[in-house]
Amino acid sequence: MEAKAVVPTSSAPADLFKTIDWSFFESVPDQVHTVHPYPAKYIPEIPAAALSLAPKEGQILDPFCGIGTTLIESVRSGREAIGIDLNPIATMVAEAKLSGWSEEDADALPRHKEGLLNAARESDVDLLDRARERIPRVDHWFDPVSQAALAGTAGYISALDPTDPWRVRLGTAVSSIVVRISRQESDTRYAAVPKTISLDGIVASLDRAVDSIGRAASTLATQVRANATAQTITADATKLAEIVPPDTVGAAIFSPPYPNAYEYWLYHKYRMYWMGFDPLKVRAGEIGARPFYSGSGKLTEDDFAAQMGKVFAGLKSVLLKDGIVLMIVGDSRIRGRDVDNAAVLARCARENSFEVTGLARRSIKATRRSFNQAIARAKYEHVMLFERA
């Protein structure tokens, strides 16, 4: 059924908010957004619509930026943007997509591709030994062919200059195929299953992955309006005020992690190990991660509220006076109890002098639900607009 267009009664964010049908059922994210799997990313139409409510002044912030959906839509609409995420795989992918593109990059692509593919084929014993010492249960999750190829490619990438954008681009290419060439069933199922993996198959996947990140970065570079730029920072969003200068943000647009919805660190654990990051550090700071809320985990929605309270305190410091916060959140089930996360977040906001000025429910199309619904069971999400009280 066609949604009826609602005519705004003013240009106030709360009035504009009501004119938007937030469901976006027909969303088909473009290649820039899909170059690397990230199951809980949101659809680009959401930040694009949220940007239309943002005041003209100030940068756009996503404190849980994932693989950069908000940042990409921000630079496409000519806004400066800053993204924070605890997961270094997420910020690496976002940075790679937003890394710009020059003639030299186009020239360097075949050279780097050949170097990376050779490194995958060569089977360097020293690199492999070092990786095997560092990575726990590596034989359970990776067969010997994948181990040798990943050790070689990681070695090639770590030899590049830390400021060379090809580091994050090639890191993204390799990371995008790690789950496929492991025994992990999928990005949303952490179970080892038998798979047939050949070196030829790995090399062919890498070949496509390098082209794919090259295409994403070069396409986005042509779409950035008015030289807008975006930066990504790997950090904990509960420390926002230490990371972002005060009074610089016009709009914070994001979907936060919430209890029991997903476990980012776990599903990206081996990506992190191969890329030289420490997944256990990410686990410790991750908001909402399942083991803290189920099984022997003791956290409740009050703990979630305490963490999000810190995020709101940070938002209070970094937002301009007329700045807005636009958030998408689903509900949780914690030990058999349904938890209304919109109510939890409204409380955190009130305690930090924000009020809810827009609230809508968006249905999620069953076929588009992107992560493990056996746990999250979400049929809809809340879209929430906050402004200073």
Ligand X SMILES: C[S@@+](CC[C@H](N)C(=O)[O-])C[C@H]1O[C@@H](n2cnc3c(N)ncnc32)[C@H](O)[C@@H]1O
Between 142 and 371, whose beta carbon lies closer to ligand X?
371
DSSP E strands in the chain: the ranges are 59-62, 81-85, 184-186, 189-192, 230-234, 249-254, 319-329, 332-334, 337-339, 354-363, 380-388
**One residue of 74, 147, 205, 255 binding ligand X per CB under 6 A:** 255
Cα(24)–Cα(365) distance, rounded to whole angstroms?
9
Closest separation between CB of residue 46 and ligand X, Å? 8
Contact status: 341 vs ligand X (CB under 6 A): no
| Least separation in angstroms between CB 267 and ligand X | 10
Return the residue of 156, 264, 277, 312 that touches ligand X, per CB under 6 A. 264
CB of 32 or CB of 116, closer to ligand X: 32
Cα–Cα distance, 256 to 288 (Å, whole number): 9
CB of 255 to ligand X, least distance (A): 4
Q: How far is CA 107 from CA 57, 103, 189, in A?
A: 38, 6, 39
Which of 165, 256 has the CB closer to ligand X? Answer: 256
Q: Is 50 in the site for ligand X (CB under 6 A)?
A: no
Least CB distance from residue 113 to ligand X, whole Å?
26
What residues pair up with 338 in beta bridges, in sequence order?
333
* Shortest separation between residue 1's beta carbon and ligand X, angstroms: 27
Question: Quick one: tokens of 192?
Answer: 């080892």
Q: Is 286 in the site for ligand X (CB under 6 A)?
A: yes
Instruction: Tell whether residue 364 is a contact of ligand X (CB under 6 A).
Output: no
Place of tokens 């999000």: 308
Contact call for residue 187 and ligand X (CB under 6 A): no
Q: Is 45 in the site for ligand X (CB under 6 A)?
A: no
Choosing from 20, 51, 61, 67, the residue that interacts with ligand X (CB under 6 A) is 67
Question: Binding to ligand X by residue 81, rule CB under 6 A?
Answer: no
Cα angle 266, 267, 271 (rounded to 5 degrees) comes to: 100
Part of the chain binding ligand X (CB under 6 A), chosen from 99-107, 131-139, 282-290, 336-344: 282-290
Q: What is the dihedral of CA 384, 59, 281, 175, to 10 degrees?
A: 100
d(CA 105, CA 172): 16
CA atoms of 360 and 131, how far apart (whole Å): 48
Q: In this chain, which of 22, 24, 42, 292 binds ligand X, going by CB under 6 A?
A: 42
Task: Provide the Cα torsion 201, 207, 211, 217; round to 10°.
Answer: 90
Q: Per CB under 6 A, does 90 bind ligand X?
A: yes
What is the contact surface with ligand X in residues (CB under 6 A)?
38, 40-42, 64-67, 69, 84-87, 90, 236-238, 255, 257, 264, 285-287
